[in-house]
Structure 1
Amino acid sequence: MTLTTKALTKIYEDLHQIPELGLQEHETQAYLLNVIKRLPQTNLKIKTVETATLVLVAGSVAKKTIGWRTDIDALPVTEKTGLPFASKHPGMMHACGHDLHMTVALGLLAYFAEHQPKNNLFFLFQPAEENASGGKRLYDSGALDDWLPDEIYGLHINPQLPAGAIGCRQGTLFAGTCEIHARFHGKSGHAAYPHLANDMVVAGAYFVSQLQTIVSRNVNPIEAGVVTLGQFHAGTIGNVISGEAKIDGTIRALTQKMNRHIQRRVQTIAEGVALAFNCEVELKLNQGGYYPVENNPITTKALIDFMQQEPGVNFIETEPAMTGEDFGYLISKINGTMFWLGVDQPYQLHSEKLAPNEAAIEKGVAAITAYFKQRDQTLA
């Protein structure tokens, strides 16, 4: 059965009320399965892996498999929208729009469950996008192997675009990210006897200062990179020299090559600071599956060409963003494209007041369904 606008709105509002953190999405998975199992089952195959749900729509004369991925987890944010269907789970909220992502995916799946495609369609309802590289976790486990698509697509809501608008670009859509966790170990002591101690406030400060030179002096000015250090913890009181410093931050880059380059510079600087200050350093650079979302040129051209010509679609060419998305790992392995779906909101992603314009749901489902119908017919 094709889901009506009223049914999709109800699904969205239901999902919004039950946000769950990564790998804990049990209630969400149960809700999704309940909706999916009410669809025509003739051409559907369903599997679950932990809190992931995988659905294959068998094509009538399948030669290829087209994939669609949606994320299902939420954030540890206390909601302040005032909506009548606000989160029922204290301290958790769909502040990144994954509830709307799931709703669009269900609308798309419902159509093709009723209207069998020529090629296979594969739907991945993926957990842990926000915190545990869920895409990488599933891909590396082999859980996708049986139904591995030839190409894969996904979307992310964009509060700055008009409701229902489709935004995309050739090249990188989202940056790749990498966590920085540095721990410097020296020797604590009395503030009056610095020569008998090894001050890690100074060592840590030097590390912070040196990292600021990476983008300004080691990155090509016409390329992009960000190094931000958001936490620095050292010491307990002003008259005690700290023997430890803990520094945490993030790297952002628009290509995996640049991300690796910046990681190497962080590593070199950390080792140099340890040598210069005669201390020990523990450095962890954790990228996980948060690769840059580098859109495939072939699938992206197909999507953009279609959306530009499709009546009723408001297509907007967008600039790359420094936000991260673990879809980047999947399309480093599978040709694919991610794009924006506008939701017309004054509040940004991850805001406790984010409340997407629900008109985006029907427009998004209609545009993507039309693209998949066309892609299904043209894909050899």
Structure 2
Amino acid sequence: MAQLTDEELIQIRRHLHQIPELAMHETQTHDYLIEVISKMNLEHAEIREQLPDLPTAVLVRIEGTNPQRTIGYRTDIDALPVSEQTGLPFSSTHPDVMHACGHDIHMTVALGVLNHFLEHQPKDNVVFFFQPAEESENGGKVAYEQGVFQGKWQPDEFYGLHDNPDLPAGAIGCRMGTLFAGTTEVNVDFHGKSGHAAFPQNANDMVVAASQFINQVQTIISRSINPIESGVVTFGLMKAGTIRNVIAGSARLEGTIRGLTQVMIERIVERLKEVAEGIAKSYDCTVKIAFNQGGYLPVENNPELTKRFISFCEQDDQTNFVETAPAMTGEDFGYLLSKFPGTMFWLGVEDDSQLHSATLNPKEESISKGINSINRFLEFRMNH
């Protein structure tokens, strides 16, 4: 396969858009990726797949002509449980599943970059990781814990992108420090004593206890976190009671923590534990609090590599660079960046709808522009 044309790239993207699959179930996506990659010039490359616990993952390693390092490039391949409402002729053919986060764009760009370096053998080794389960199940963490990135598959530095509808099509956005917040799930269970609504003295109302917990949690960000930093604690679900005239003897809260550094997330976690202990004592009840972060650590860009990346993008006359603010959305590339130095950046796709929206419709002209900028940067990196 020669260099992929814009038309071919768009057709690849549209096919991927039609076959979205949820985390750990990306079988059609995997098969199509293999189909496309197998048509490329693989003279200096090796394909690796069928990993234990990650059967839909695909890795491709290109041998460099005079390697000084191994560069990693990661793209995510899963979709979201969203019913598409774009009305596009190439809409999702899988009911209630959609590439509402733009991973079809991510994959197409990665295939374009891969194809370029297969046609023009790079100086350094390059490992491409088509990763399952970014939206849930933290596929990056699973891959790392399986020892996937060892030996010749170990990158010295890792890069990856996320599309951004707020940026012009094809623009590259990045920043020093944290690009995406880390996320941690939090569940809180309250156990007291149910009873008749007319005799509250004989019961222990967990609606009241849970409500006071929520009220006190609101002070964590405003009074326990440095005001020039950012964090979020949100409880989006509360379950308690069965009927209006029975006092609830139990309650459950489910929420999420967001923080721009792992240190901040750990501070919020400790404060939540302390608030839970205080509620338990104040209301003479049992409060159990559980946290699950998995692989969703903050995406903290490596200072040296990111400075070089930004400097290149600012000086490259073919790249429209935008310095961006940190986002409170989560991304499991943060886990890999906690293990390998690297940089995550935005690719502008210019759309009125936001990520995870049922109407997200990225501008396809962003694909070739993104590929061009990434190819130029990686070639620059191999010589600097």
**Class of the TM-score when normalised by the shorter of the 2 chains:** over 0.9
Runs of 4+ aligned structure 1 residues displaced above 6 Å come to none
Aligned position for 1:16: 17
* Cα deviations by residue, 1:269-291 (Å, 9 ceiling, x for unpaired): 11221222222222111111111
Aligned position for 1:342: 348
- Equivalent position SS for 1:6: helix
The one of 336, 348, 358 equivalent to 1:330 is 336
- Equivalent position SS for 1:149: coil
Task: Give the CA deviation at 1:160.
Answer: 0.5
The one of 54, 57, 73 equivalent to 1:52 is 57
Task: Give the CA deviation at 1:105.
Answer: 0.1
Aligned position for 1:314: 320
Q: 5+ residue gaps in structure 2? A: none
Task: Give the CA deviation at 1:312.
Answer: 2.1
Matched, 1:31 2:32: yes
* Cα deviations by residue, 1:40-78 (Å, 9 ceiling, x for unpaired): 111111111221111101111223100100000000000
Matched, 1:63 2:68: yes
The one of 241, 250, 253 equivalent to 2:247 is 241
Aligned counterparts of 1:217 and 1:340: Cα–Cα separation in 2:
32
- Equivalent position SS for 2:361: coil
The one of 99, 106, 113 equivalent to 1:101 is 106
Task: Give the CA deviation at 1:330.
Answer: 0.6
- Equivalent position SS for 1:333: coil
Aligned counterparts of 1:186 and 1:141: Cα–Cα separation in 2:
42
Letter aligned with residue 32 of structure 1: L
Aligned counterparts of 2:97 and 2:137: Cα–Cα separation in 1:
17
Q: How does 1:364-375 map to 2 (within 5 A)?
A: 364-375=370-381
Aligned counterparts of 1:267 and 1:51: Cα–Cα separation in 2:
38
Task: Give the TM-score normalised by the residue count of structure 1.
Answer: 0.98
Q: How does 1:213-362 map to 2 (within 5 A)?
A: 213-362=219-368
Aligned counterparts of 1:272 and 1:144: Cα–Cα separation in 2:
44
Aligned counterparts of 2:330 and 2:240: Cα–Cα separation in 1:
29
Aligned position for 1:80: 85
- Equivalent position SS for 2:338: helix
Task: Give the TM-score normalised by the residue count of structure 2.
Answer: 0.97
Aligned counterparts of 1:200 and 1:99: Cα–Cα separation in 2:
45
- Equivalent position SS for 1:75: coil
Aligned position for 2:139: 134
Aligned counterparts of 1:278 and 1:34: Cα–Cα separation in 2:
62
Matched, 1:111 2:116: yes
Aligned counterparts of 1:15 and 1:331: Cα–Cα separation in 2:
27
Aligned counterparts of 1:58 and 1:312: Cα–Cα separation in 2:
27
Letter aligned with residue 281 of structure 1: V
Aligned position for 1:158: 164
Q: 5+ residue gaps in structure 1? A: none
Q: Alignment identity in percent?
A: 57
